[in-house]
């Protein structure tokens, strides 16, 4: 069975960027809901219930056809939120260091240019979805968004930073002001964790 991963901080720890009520509902209702529906979809497939959710998504086409959509949506919801919680932190903000910093500058010219591109993608994304910084199959950094709970893992790419732009992620606190939510996100990005994930891809 899949379970909700522990958070390494309290619900109110990310304030003022993300308030406690938003965090509690997002984690204990929305994320829990994806976990529950993933378990329901995989009922009768004990071999698949033992696998890591990233493995299921990377090999989606190998799964039985009748559960692929449920795993894409709910496994994606589980994997995406699990990543999101780890790349934000009460000790976040600032700027990346080392190899990740150099790679971002090489790819996007500067950290500010990277942030500007990420924000443009986040603001222009229509409807529910996620914004990503991924390492693609050529080892290059890319920024893009996906709809719904679609994960870059399905394309066998490796996400190292993400922002949830579903309204459930910000509407209670920011209402329709997605731009303010995105600005506040930079204050809690855990660059050390993003750098650790980047290093794992090399």
Cβ at position 147, least distance to Fe ion in Å: 13
Number of residues that bind Fe ion (CB under 5 A): 3
164 touching Fe ion, by CB under 5 A = yes
Closest CB to Fe ion among 26 and 115? 26
The answer to whether residues 169 and 122 touch, using CB atoms and an 8 Å cutoff, is no
Distance CA 84, CA 185 (A): 11
> Which region, judged by CB under 5 A, interacts with Fe ion, from 1-9, 32-40, 51-59, 160-168?
160-168
> Which region, judged by CB under 5 A, interacts with Fe ion, from 35-43, 50-58, 67-75, 162-170?
162-170
Cβ at position 1, least distance to Fe ion in Å: 21
Closest CB to Fe ion among 27 and 144? 27
Cβ at position 171, least distance to Fe ion in Å: 11
Three-class SS of residue 120?
helix
The answer to whether residues 141 and 161 touch, using CB atoms and an 8 Å cutoff, is no
Query: What sections of 59-162 are H helices per DSSP?
Result: 65-70, 76-86, 98-108, 111-124
Distance CA 87, CA 19 (A): 17
> Which region, judged by CB under 5 A, interacts with Fe ion, from 5-13, 32-40, 152-160, 166-174?
166-174
150 touching Fe ion, by CB under 5 A = no
191 touching Fe ion, by CB under 5 A = no
* Cis previous bond, 16, omega within 30: yes
Closest CB to Fe ion among 157 and 164? 164
Q: Which residues contact 143 (CB under 8 A, 6 or more apart)?
A: 108, 114, 117, 118, 121, 131, 132, 133, 134
Closest CB to Fe ion among 164 and 190? 164
CB atoms within 10 A of CB 198: 23
In the list 166, 174, 181, 198, the residue contacting Fe ion (rule: CB under 5 A) is 166
Binding residues for Fe ion, rule: CB under 5 A, are 164, 166, 169
């Amino acid at each position: 069975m899949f379970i909700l991963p522990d958070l390494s901080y309290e619900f109110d720890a990310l304030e003022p960027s993300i308030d406690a009520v938003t965090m509690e509902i997002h984690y204990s209702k929305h994320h829990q809901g994806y976990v529950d529906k993933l378990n329901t979809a995989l009922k009768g497939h004990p071999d698949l219930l033992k696998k890591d959710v990233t493995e299921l998504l990377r090999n989606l086409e190998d799964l039985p056809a009748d559960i692929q959509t449920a795993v894409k949506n709910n496994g994606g919801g589980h994997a995406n939120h699990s990543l999101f919680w780890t790349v934000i932190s009460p000790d976040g903000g600032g700027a990346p260091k080392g190899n990740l910093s150099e790679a971002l500058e090489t790819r996007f010219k500067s950290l500010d240019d990277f942030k500007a591109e990420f924000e443009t993608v986040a603001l222009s994304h229509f409807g529910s979805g996620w914004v990503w910084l991924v390492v693609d199959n050529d080892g290059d950094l890319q920024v893009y968004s996906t709809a719904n709970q679609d994960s870059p893992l399905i394309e066998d790419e490796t996400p190292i930073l993400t922002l949830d732009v579903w309204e459930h992620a910000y509407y209670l606190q920011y209402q329709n002001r997605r731009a303010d939510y995105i600005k506040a996100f930079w204050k809690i990005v855990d660059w050390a964790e993003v750098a650790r994930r980047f290093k794992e891809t090399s």
